[in-house]
Amino acid sequence: MLSIFTGSDRKAKDPNEELKQGKRLQHAKEMFYSGKFLMVTTPSIKGRRAKGVLGLVHGRGYDAECAMLSLAASAMEIGAEAIVGYQEAVAFHPDGSKFFSCYGTAITLDKTSQARATIRRAITH
């Protein structure tokens, strides 16, 4: 029986989709925890200047880390080097489950501002 909700043009689920999603989040985790991808709640990053604003990005998941890593992965996919203005919200379901949503502004960073900050620290110490 053909359903009006699942027409014949419906795409078959990619069996490698879960694997791709896992690799995507693993890469985001490595970049974030190594300090190569910055994420802050403030509107700017001390000692760094934003070169460009790529836009608002979001992540969702059933735990806070998964939502945050999904946010970072989404930002990196569009070329971001950092996220400013990170916010997070949680929705509670009557069955006791939680659903996390987070968002922030994806930006690229000016490379020269980092070099100047490093030189200033070296001179003052």
DSSP 80: -
Q: Provide the CATH number for the domain formed by 50-125 in this structure.
A: 3.30.110.70
Task: Classify burial at 67, counting beta carbons within 10 Å of its beta carbon; exposed 0-12, middle 13-18, buried 19 or more.
Answer: buried
**Residue 12 — very low, low, confident or very high, per pLDDT cuts 50/70/90?**
low
Token pair recorded at residue 125 = 């110490």
Amino acid letter, 89: A
Residues recorded for the chain: 125
Mind listing the pLDDT tens digit for each residue in 31-69? 999 999 999 999 999 889 999 999 999 999 999 999 999
Mapping DSSP to helix (H, G, I), strand (E, B) and coil, where does residue 1 land?
A: coil
Per-residue pLDDT tens digits for 84-102: 999 999 999 999 999 999 9
Phi, psi for residue 60 in degrees, rounded to 5: -140, 155
